[in-house]
Amino acid sequence: MAQSNNYDIIVIGGGPSGLAAGLYAARGRRRTLLLEKGVVGGQISLTDRVENYPGFPEAVNGFDLAQAMLQQAENNGMETAYVEVTGMEQSENNLWRVKTAQGDYTAKAVIITSGADYNRLGVPGEERLTGRGVSYCATCDAAFFKDEEVAVVGGGDAAMDEGLFTSRYASKLNMIHRRDELRASRILQERALANPKMQFLWNTVVDEVVGDNQVTSLQLKNVITGEKSNIGVSAIFIFIGQHPNSDFLGGLLPLDEGGHIHVDDWMRTGLPGLFAAGDVRKNSARQVVSSAGDGATAAISADHYISNNFPD
Amino acid sequence: MAKPQEVTDTNFDEEVIQSETPVLVDFWAPWCGPCRMVAPIVEELADEYEGRVKFTKVNTDDNVNTAVRFGIRSIPTLLIFQSGELAGQIIGFRPKSELKNNLEKVLTQAAT
């Protein structure tokens, strides 16, 4: 049977926000399609332990949580396609046309939950040695550095969390942070600062990742004194924040200076039938639970919009 | 569906290095989320390339020697071997189209 490419609601991006939006949209009996370019779960699919999602007192593996969310949404009728969105436009009859490498889809409403991607340092050696000691996923790679000395860059929750995970394997962790205090949540700070394997290098940035086929050392600089130094490590795990995935929109919507989409309390963008939720929107709390909440709000909002604008 | 063959430290040379057809090796571990996403794509490719490419996988937890031998520092990593030589590598989760491009490139080179 040939599947029609016409949907009521298309959700772009399969992180917690998109999966919650898909669940609510499908339960509203709207024909719903989720488009995902890579791994369902988004950033949490790389997280070992999600400890702050309500309902899981013993914490939950991020990948498992995402798979459970996907299963729940699909059980309720959501369809999923693994394809990257290349652009979108609103055509006549107020229908949205979503363009992908595998053809176009149309929908009465679109919810953008494209999330955020991790930032790179942008220093020499980083790209060349990715997968050869440079890593953005401690959960994936830490086990390959058993009893070796490594570095972790960043001062937020992700850096502490992934550093703590890596400390199960590595012999020593150099925690490199450009400021003299952490912005991670208190509970993670306490654990990291008490961990005997984690040594903090404050006010320090990475100038270069050094190595031929594998990372062998890092060129560091103290931002206060300007003093340069070199430390021997076989891996560098980088967790220095993220940027919203909004490039594919082109000039469709005005974005803030960080690339986030402006929405109102009901996750409406300025364009009819177009909603945004989760990390891609401005002022997101960037938590699994708040993103899921955003997604639900956007789906309810989209449902109302369709009822009001596309009478049966 | 064609399932990739489990290869170990013991039979890696026999099954991969000495193979006459090109071999794709999927380095994975049970705890690695992105590896679990790559697995079904690799299985689809195993179907599409049946007879032309041999599909195998190595559990890096159980086969540390092979992981170390090929300098695996990140999983998922897919290596492609042609006549015992490393002919392609894909590190991290990549879309199916990119995996296909890599396979096609190796097959084209093998044909010339």
Contact A46/B96, CB-based, under 8 Å?
Answer: no
Q: How many CB atoms lie within 10 A of CB A31?
A: 17
The Cα–Cα gap between B85 and A218 comes to 32
pLDDT bracket for residue A38 (50, 70, 90): confident
Specify whether A137 is catalytic.
Answer: yes
CB pairs under 8 A between A and B: 67
With beta carbons under 8 A apart, name residues in chain B contacting A235.
73
With beta carbons under 8 A apart, name residues in chain B contacting A144.
60, 67, 72-75
Q: Nearest CB to B92: which of A84, A131, A133? A: A131
Domains and CATH numbers, chain A: 6-117+242-309 (3.50.50.60), 120-238 (3.50.50.60)
Average pLDDT over residues B4-24: 96
Q: How many CB atoms lie within 10 A of CB A180?
A: 12
Return the residue of A nearest to B61 by Cα: A143
pLDDT at residue A1 tops 80: no
Helix (H), strand (E) at residue B111: helix B96-111
pLDDT at residue A2 tops 70: no
Q: Nearest CB to A135: which of B36, B74, B96? A: B74
pLDDT bracket for residue B1 (50, 70, 90): low
Domains and CATH numbers, chain B: 5-111 (3.40.30.10)
Tokens 């071999």 — which residue? Answer: B23
Residues of chain B with a CB closer than 8 angstroms to some CB in chain A? 29, 31-37, 60-61, 67, 71-77, 91-93, 95-97
> Which pTM was predicted?
0.81
pLDDT at residue A308 tops 90: yes
Please provide the average confidence, as pLDDT, over all residues in chain A. Answer: 94
Asked which of A105-119, A273-287, B89-103 is least confident by mean pLDDT, the reply is: B89-103
Average pLDDT over residues A89-95: 89
The pLDDT score that the predictor gives to residue B37 is: 82
Specify whether B46 is catalytic.
Answer: no
Contact A139/B93, CB-based, under 8 Å?
Answer: no
Query: Of A82, A85, A141, which to mutate for an interface test with B (greatest number of B Cβ within 10 Å)?
Result: A141
The pLDDT score that the predictor gives to residue A311 is: 85
- Summarize pLDDT for A122-150 with one digit per residue, the tens: 999 999 999 899 999 888 899 999 999 99
- Summarize pLDDT for A212-260 with one digit per residue, the tens: 989 999 999 999 999 999 999 999 999 999 999 999 999 999 999 999 9
pLDDT at residue A79 tops 70: yes
